[in-house]
């Protein structure tokens, strides 16, 4: 017989939670009323629905938007005076993602049994990462959970907005590359073979550029699947290598070196570092725990390795700025600003200002990059298509010259 969890009100007006066994939800509501409680929420226990939970995990993933909306709603509900259990129940009712709903159901059950909210959240890293758990734990300890969640929601909204702006800026260049590549592929594999019959009828030697284009066309026409498979295999190998400790460190180090993209990647990682560390310190998370959490949130393993060295130095009694300067992994402006913040006791405020300034720089850099990238892509595609067309017309030009002589 299925098990149902319930949230109810007793005769004294207090919230009570528990479980009952019943054939269906309607019967479970009746059981709760027989006990003498007024039922507020009655849902099938997550433990009784293993098949549904597995299906949700396979076909639904937790997105950044799901996390952001959930955090903002949870902060609003707690700010309105609801208990944690009641707030989670409301979230369950208003969540469309089956996987998120399933996690929230299990979260509510464990909290109802007396487990701490942060300790329970740590069991579900797909929805609550280390940053989330650390801030909630600090909020529980300080008694300002709703305030901490509001700051976390603001941080997550800022990160989502930043990435949305970058993706929107790259959409048009990506479209140009896709359309241009498709046009060249169509030209080389479908249109050029039609010229082969014409060239055979000419009975003359072909120019070198024409021979090269025809060879490429013949190869792609017969072995396009091998080229596509090779590119896919290469992408999978790079992805696998990037997940190894040495490979990930090497790739993240290389990301910071290209002339234009390198400074942009450094600014994005630095902005994330400042936002995350500032949010954690402002939320009351101990500095060693905050630095450890930032290591997993910064998004660059070379800079995360540098933060590990900083963390060890801070544990030995040093400040943050001095070991951060020794690593050489962070801009001197950030290091000097942190040093000033440590002297004045306003590290969290300084980091917030640094993060905002880098956000503006990132937006300006992306705009400049896109304004440069678009004409380069158009020019590059024009050169490729023009070269192919000229190579195909060269034999006809030669034939006209021979006829003139």
Burial of 122 (0-12, 13-18, 19+ CB in 10 A): middle
* pLDDT (0 to 100) of residue 306: 92
> Which of 282, 338, 290, 301 lies closest to 152 in space, CA to CA?
282
89 shares a domain with 35: no
Residue 147 belongs to a domain: no
What are 297's two structure tokens? 């949130």
Residue 234 belongs to a domain: yes
237 shares a domain with 113: no
* pLDDT (0 to 100) of residue 173: 87
397 shares a domain with 257: yes
pLDDT tens readout for residues 191-239: 787 777 777 666 667 788 888 888 888 888 888 889 899 999 999 999 9
How far, in Å, CA of 213 to CA of 266, rounded?
41
314 shares a domain with 261: yes
239 shares a domain with 121: no
Residue 305 belongs to a domain: yes
Specify whether the CB–CB gap between 36 and 98 falls below 8 A: no
394 shares a domain with 246: yes
168 shares a domain with 73: no
Residue 301 belongs to a domain: yes
Name the least confident of 41-45, 67-71, 120-124, 147-151.
41-45
> What CATH number did the domain enclosing 17 receive?
3.10.20
- Of 93, 128, 163, which closes a domain? 128
Percent of the chain with pLDDT over 70: 91
Range of the domain at 222: 154-405
23 shares a domain with 77: no
pLDDT of residue 346 exceeding 70: yes
Q: Average pLDDT for residues 239-262, to the nearest whole number? A: 88
> Which of 29, 32, 17, 22 lies closest to 105 in space, CA to CA?
17
The domain total for the chain is 3
What are 176's two structure tokens? 């140009």
Residue 358 belongs to a domain: yes
**3-class DSSP string for 302-354:** HHHHHHHHHHHHHHCCCCCHHHHHHHCCCCHHHHHHHHHHHHHCCHHHHHHHH
Residue 320 belongs to a domain: yes
Residue 242 belongs to a domain: yes
> Taking the model in full, what pTM does it have?
0.71
Residue 99 belongs to a domain: yes
pLDDT band for position 41 (cuts 50, 70, 90): confident
350 shares a domain with 213: yes
59 shares a domain with 40: no
> What CATH number did the domain enclosing 70 receive?
1.20.81.30
169 shares a domain with 263: yes
121 shares a domain with 186: no
How far, in Å, CA of 308 to CA of 41, rounded?
46
How far, in Å, CA of 361 to CA of 242, rounded?
28
């Amino acid at each position: 017989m299925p098990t149902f969890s319930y949230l109810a009100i007793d005769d004294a007006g207090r919230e009570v939670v528990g479980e009952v066994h019943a054939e269906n939800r309607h019967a479970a509501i009746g059981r709760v009323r027989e006990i003498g409680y007024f039922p507020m929420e009655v849902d099938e226990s997550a433990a009784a629905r293993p098949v549904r939970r597995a299906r949700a995990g396979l076909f639904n993933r937790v997105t950044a938007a799901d996390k952001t909306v959930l955090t903002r709603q949870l902060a609003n509900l707690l700010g309105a005076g609801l208990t944690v259990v009641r707030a989670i129940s409301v979230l369950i009712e208003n969540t469309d993602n089956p996987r998120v709903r399933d996690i929230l159901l299990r979260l509510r059950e464990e909290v109802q049994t007396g487990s701490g909210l942060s300790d329970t959240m740590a069991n579900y890293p797909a929805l609550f990462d280390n940053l989330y758990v650390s801030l909630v734990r600090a909020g529980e300890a300080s008694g300002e959970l709703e305030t901490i969640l509001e700051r976390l929601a603001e941080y997550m909204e800022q990160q989502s907005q930043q990435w949305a702006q970058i993706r929107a800026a790259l959409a048009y260049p990506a479209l140009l590359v896709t359309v241009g590549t498709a046009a060249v592929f169509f030209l080389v594999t479908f249109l050029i073979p039609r010229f082969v019959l014409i060239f055979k009828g000419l009975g003359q030697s072909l120019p070198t550029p024409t021979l090269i284009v025809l060879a490429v066309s013949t190869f792609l026409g017969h072995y396009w699947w091998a080229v596509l498979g090779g590119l896919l295999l290469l992408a999978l190998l790079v992805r696998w290598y990037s997940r190894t400790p040495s490979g990930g460190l090497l790739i993240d180090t290389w990301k910071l070196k290209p002339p234009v993209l390198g400074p942009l990647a450094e600014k994005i990682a630095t902005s994330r570092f400042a936002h995350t560390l500032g949010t954690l310190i402002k939320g009351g998370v101990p500095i060693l725990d905050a630095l450890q959490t930032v290591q997993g949130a910064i998004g660059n393993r070379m800079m995360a390795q540098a933060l590990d060295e900083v963390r060890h130095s801070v544990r030995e009694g040093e400040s943050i700025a001095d070991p951060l300067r020794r690593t050489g992994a962070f801009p001197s402006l950030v290091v000097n600003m942190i040093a000033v913040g440590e002297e004045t006791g306003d590290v969290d405020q300084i980091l917030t200002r640094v993060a905002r300034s880098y956000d503006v720089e990132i937006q300006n850099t992306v705009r400049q990059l896109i304004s440069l990238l678009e004409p380069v892509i158009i020019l590059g595609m024009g050169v490729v298509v023009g070269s192919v067309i000229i190579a195909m017309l060269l034999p006809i030009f030669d034939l006209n010259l021979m006829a003139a002589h």
